Structure 1
Amino acid sequence: MQAVLFDLDGTLVDTAPDLGYALNLQRARHGLPFLPDDTIRPHASHGSRGLLAIGFGLEPTDSDFDAMRHEYLSLYTEVMTRQPVLFDGMAETLADIEQRGLRWGIVTNKPRRFTLPMIEHMGLSSRASAVVSGDDAPLPKPSPQTLLLACEHMQIDPASILYVGDAERDVQAGKAAGMTTLVALFGYLSDTDKPQEWCADGYILQPQELLAYL
Structure 2
Amino acid sequence: MPAVEAVKFPKAVLFDLDGTLLDSAPDMVAAIDAMRAERGQPPMPLEALRPHVSKGARAMVAAAFPDVAEDERERWIPEFLDCYQRALGQYGVPFDGIEAMLAALENAGCAWGIVTNKPEYLARQLMPVLGWEHRCAVLIGGDTLKARKPDPLPLIVAAERIGVAPEQCVYVGDDERDIVAARAAGMPSVVALWGYRLDEDDPIAWQGDAMIDLPSQLIAAEAWPGTR
2:87 pairs with 1:76? no
2:191 aligns with 183
2:97 aligns with 89
CA distance in 2, matches of 1:3, 1:131: 13
Q: 2:125 aligns with which of 94, 117, 126?
A: 117
Q: CA deviation at 1:21?
A: 1.1
Pick closer, same or farther for the CA change 1:105–1:58 going to 2, 3 Å. farther
Partner of 1:106: helix, strand, or coil? strand
2:71 aligns with 63
TM-score w.r.t. the length of structure 2 is 0.90
8 Å contact 2:62–2:73 — kept in the other structure? no
Aligned residues: 213
Percent of residue pairs bearing the same amino acid type = 39
8 Å contact 1:164–1:183 — kept in the other structure? yes
2:224 aligns with 213
1:42 aligns with 51
Partner of 2:170: helix, strand, or coil? strand
1:133 aligns with 141
CA distance in 1, matches of 2:150, 2:42: 34
Deviates more, 1:135-144 or 1:77-86: 77-86
2:26 aligns with 17
Where do 4+ consecutive residues of structure 1 move more than 3 Å?
A: none
Q: CA deviation at 1:67?
A: 2.2
Computing the radius of gyration from Cα coordinates, the structure with the larger value is 2
Q: CA deviation at 1:58?
A: 6.6
8 Å contact 1:58–1:65 — kept in the other structure? no
Long gaps (5+) in structure 2 = 1-9
